[in-house]
Amino acid sequence: MENPGKSSSNELNQLLAKMNQEGGFPISILTDSAGLAIASAAESGMNADKQSAVVAFIQKTAVQVCKQIGFTSSEEISLFDKDGRHLICRSFRAKNFDLILSVIVPDRSTSYRHVTSVTIKKIVEIWSHYWE
């Protein structure tokens, strides 16, 4: 019998690895809104667990901030460093679950939007399939 959790996680890990390859991202993580890692793909030396904790922390605070200032929840957070590297956290919903896909983009010239949008669409499909 198929274990939906394990199978979907494998499929999601592969999906993220493929996205990293296409987008040139050193690391990508899919977490739930509490910051628990669901899937990840990273170059050697990158710590996905640490990364997901940071992402969740930033995302949670952003949600609180948006609420406090009377805006709707954040859909995307982009944090740029002085070398042009940026951390992108994109929030989306899949079957009533709030998920966050985050990637590190190595420089300003690398485009991330299209690649991550395609991946988000596929994640929603996989999620819907396994959690029907």
Partner 1 sequence: MGLKGNLRDMTVADLIQHQCADRKTAKVTIVNSSRTALIFFKGGEVVHAQLDKNEGEEVVFEILRWEEGTFAVEAAIDPPKVTIDRSWSGLLMEGAKRIDEETHESDKQKSIQAGMQEVKGMATRIDEILQEMSGEMNGFFASSVTGMDGMSIAQLTKGKVDPEIVSAQLAVFLKLASSSSDKAGMGDMEDLLIQTADHFVMNVFLPGDNQHFLTTIVDRKNGSIGNLRMVSKIYAERISKAIPR
Site residues (CB under 8 A) for partner 1? 26-27, 46-47, 50-51, 54-55, 57-58, 61-62, 64-66, 68-83, 85-87, 104
Give whichever of 61 and 128 is closer to partner 1, judged by the CB atom.
Answer: 61
Give whichever of 10 and 64 is closer to partner 1, judged by the CB atom.
Answer: 64
CB of 57 to partner 1, least distance (A): 6
The DSSP bridge pattern shows strands 37-42 and 27-32 to be antiparallel
How many Å apart are CA 48 and CA 103, to the nearest integer? 11
CB of 81 to partner 1, least distance (A): 4
CB of 85 to partner 1, least distance (A): 5
How many Å apart are CA 46 and CA 75, to the nearest integer? 25
How many Å apart are CA 3 and CA 25, to the nearest integer? 30
CB of 49 to partner 1, least distance (A): 11
Angle among Cα 50, 104, 31 to the nearest 5 degrees reads: 50
Cβ–Cβ under 8 Å, residues 31 and 56? yes
Give whichever of 14 and 61 is closer to partner 1, judged by the CB atom.
Answer: 61
